[in-house]
Chain A
Amino acid sequence: MKREGTNGNEHVIRAANLTVGYSGYPRVLSQMDFQWEGAGIHLIIGENGSGKSTLIRTLAGLQKQRGGTVFWGNEDVSQISSTRRTAKMAFVQSLPPRQSELTVSEALALSGRKEENISQWLHTFDLLDMTTKSLCDLSDGLGQRVMLVRAILQDTPWILLDEPTAFLDVKSRQVMWAQLSALVSKGKRVMVSSHDYHLLEGNLDLRSVTAIQENRLHALNPAGTCADWNAHI
C-alpha cells in the first residue's frame, strides 16, 4: 500500500482529505489521505466506536462525507450513478436484515444470477435447507451468511464487509475466509472492517492492514509481527 499516488487504475479506492462522521456529532475521523488498491483482503481494524463502520460506509459511497472526497479510480464517488456503483461494489452491513420478510431465495434472486449459480453458493455456505424461510425468521448468523452470498453474487471488483464476522460461528467464519480468499485469488478486492485484533495473528493472507488509532489511519505492515503491530496500536 502506498500513501497518496495518482495511478490510473480504476479499482483504486482513495480518500482525499476525507472527513467522515455524522452532522451534529463530533468528527469521527478527519482529513485522511489514504488509498487501498490491488487484489487481496484489505483489513481495517479499530476498536468499537472508532469509526470503522462510518469510514467503510463512506468509502462505499453509501454515506455522505463531511469533508474531502472519496475517489474510485479517478471518479468522485458522489458523481457515480447508482447503476454503475452496483457494478463496481457490493456491500454487507454489520447487522443482518431482521425486518425483511423476503425468503432466502427471493432475496438472492434480486441478484439476477442464474439459479444454479445461486444454489452453488447456498451449498457452499450451508444454506440449501433455508431457501423458503423468511430472512426475519433466520438467526442473525444465518441472515448474515445470506447477505454475504448476496454480495458475492453481485460479482463486483470490490466487496466491502462491515464487521462480517460478528454474528458468525467458528465454522462459518472459516468458510467465509476460505471463500473470500478464493475470490481474491481470482482478482477480487475485499475490504473488511473488524475490531478483532486476532485476525492479524491468524493465517489470513492480508493485502493491507489499516489501523484506526486516535482518530487517524495508520498503515501497518501486513506481514509484520505482533511486536510490530503492538508498537503501532
Chain B
Amino acid sequence: MNYTATVILTLAAIFGLALSHLLSGSTNIDWGELGLWFSNAPTIAGTVFFEVRLPRVLIAIAAGAGLGISGLMMQTWFHNPLAGPSVLGVTSGAGMAVALVVLTGMGGGWLANALAASVGSWCALGLVLFVASRFRGLASLLIFGLMLNYLLGALVTVLQAEAEENALQQFVFWGMGTFGQASLVTASAVLILVLAASSIAFKQYENLDKWTLGAVTARSMGVNESRLQKILVVLTGLLAGSITAVCGPVAFLGLATPHLVKLIIPYRSHNRLIPMTALIGALLALLADWGVKGWGIADSGWPLNAVLSMLGAPLVIWVLLQRNFSRS
C-alpha cells in the first residue's frame, strides 16, 4: 500500500472512531436539542456533547499526536529507539511540577498547571541532555531516565503525604491519566498547540534525517546542531508539558507510537514519519479511550494508563524482539 493510501485510510479510521465516541455514551442524546447549546439554553444534549464528548475526543487526538511526535523527536535526537517522554523522565518532570502547584494549593487552574508542567518537563529534559553527552551506549541513558523517574516519583509521594485530602484526590485521579478532564477550551488550546508544534517539527525533517547519520556527518551536511537541539527541546517540553497538564502523565503513547508507525510504513524519512506518527498516535489514543469507556467494570471506567500499558507494553516487547540490538 502506498503512502497516500495509508494516510487516507488512517484519517478515515480516526474520523470513524471519533464519530463513534461522539455518538455513543452512557447518556442518550436527543439530537434535536443539540443546536440549543449555541443559544445559551442549557440542555442535557448540548452539555453532554459539547462539554463532555467533544473535548474528550479532541484532547485524545491532540494527546496521541503530540506525545507520538515528542517520542519520535526524542528517539531521533538521542539515536535511541527506546527513548520517549515518559521513559526519560520528561513526563515525570511535568508531573512533579503539577504536583507541586496542585498539592500546595498554588495552582489548579489549567493554565497554571500547563505552565508548571512545561517548566517541569523542560527541567527534566535539560537534565537528560546535560548527562546524555557523557553516556556511551543505549542503556545508560535509559537507566538514567529510570532513576529520574524514581526520584521524581518519590518526591511526588512525599508531597502527597503532606497534602490535603481534597487536593490529593484530585491529584491521584490526574495521575492515572485521563482524557475526561479536558474542557472545550483546554482541549482546543492543546490541539492547536500540537498542530503548530507538529508543523514546526515537520519543517525540520531534512535536518532530522541528516541527524540520524551521526553528529559529525550531520554537521558536515549543514545541520546546525545547537539550533536543532533548541527547537526539539522547546517542542518536546511544550508538547509533553501541556498534554501532561491536562491528561496527567500518559504512558506509552510517546514510546510506542513511532514503533507502530515503522511497522506500518516502510519509509524512514521524517517527512513521512512525522505525519504518520501524529495520525497513528491520535488513532491509538482514540482506541485506548474505547478501552477506558467500554470495558469499564466500575462506573468511572478503567484508568487510561492501565489500558495504554496493556496495549503498549506488548507492542514494545514485540518490537524489541524483532529488532537486532546486538550491533548498537
Contact = CB atoms under 8 A, between A and B. Distances in A.
Contact of B210 (A63, A90, A110): A110
Contacts of B213: 97, 100, 102, 107, 135, 147
Nearest to B206: A110
B317 interface: no
A134 B214 contact: no
Contact of A106 (B214, B219, B268, B328): B268
Interface in B196-233: 206, 209-210, 212-214, 216-217, 219-224
24 contacts: A57-B216, A62-B220, A82-B219, A85-B222, A91-B216, A93-B214, A93-B217, A97-B213, A99-B79, A99-B328, A100-B212, A100-B213, A100-B214, A101-B212, A101-B262, A102-B212, A103-B268, A103-B269, A106-B269, A107-B209, A109-B269, A132-B266, A136-B327, A154-B221
A83 interface: yes
What are the 5 A-B residue pairs with the smallest beta carbon separation, nearest first?
Answer: A91-B220, A100-B212, A86-B222, A99-B79, A101-B268
Contacts of A62: 216, 219-220
Interface string A17-59: 0000000000000000000000000000000000000000100
B267 interface: yes
Interface residues of B, number: 22
Contacts of A147: 213, 217
Contacts of B209: 102, 106-107, 110
A101 B325 CA distance: 13
Contacts of B267: 103, 106
Contacts of B219: 62, 82
B226 to A, nearest CB: 11
A92 B79 CA distance: 19
A78 to B, nearest CB: 13
Nearest to A112: B206
Contacts of B224: 82
A99 B80 CA distance: 8
Question: Is chain A's interface secondary structure helix, strand, loop, or mixed overall?
Answer: mixed
A99 B221 contact: no
Interface in A67-113: 82-83, 85-86, 89-93, 95, 97-103, 106-107, 109-110
A132 B209 CA distance: 16
B214 A97 contact: yes
Contacts of A86: 220-222
Nearest to B271: A106
A60 interface: yes
Contacts of B79: 99
A60 B220 contact: yes
Contacts of B220: 60, 62, 85-86, 89-91
Interface of B: 79, 206, 209-210, 212-214, 216-217, 219-224, 262, 266-269, 327-328
A136 B269 CA distance: 14
B222 A82 contact: yes
B223 A82 contact: yes
Nearest to B219: A62
Contacts of B221: 86, 110, 154
Nearest to A140: B327
Nearest to B327: A98
A99 B223 contact: no
A97 B223 contact: no
Nearest to A156: B220
Contacts of B216: 57, 62-63, 91, 93
Nearest to A102: B268
Contact of A83 (B217, B222, B327): B222
Contacts of A99: 79, 212, 214, 328
Nearest to B220: A91
A57 B220 CA distance: 10
Contacts of A93: 214, 216-217
Centre residue among B212, B217, B224, B266 by max chain A CB count within 10 A: B217
Contacts of B268: 101-103, 106, 134
A155 to B, nearest CB: 13
A136 B210 CA distance: 14
A81 B232 CA distance: 22
B230 to A, nearest CB: 15
A101 B209 CA distance: 9
B203 to A, nearest CB: 15
Nearest to A57: B216
A92 B216 CA distance: 9
Contacts of A83: 222
Contacts of B269: 102-103, 106, 109
Nearest to A84: B222
Contacts of A89: 220
A164 B25 CA distance: 63
Contacts of A57: 216
Nearest to B79: A99
A132 to B, nearest CB: 7
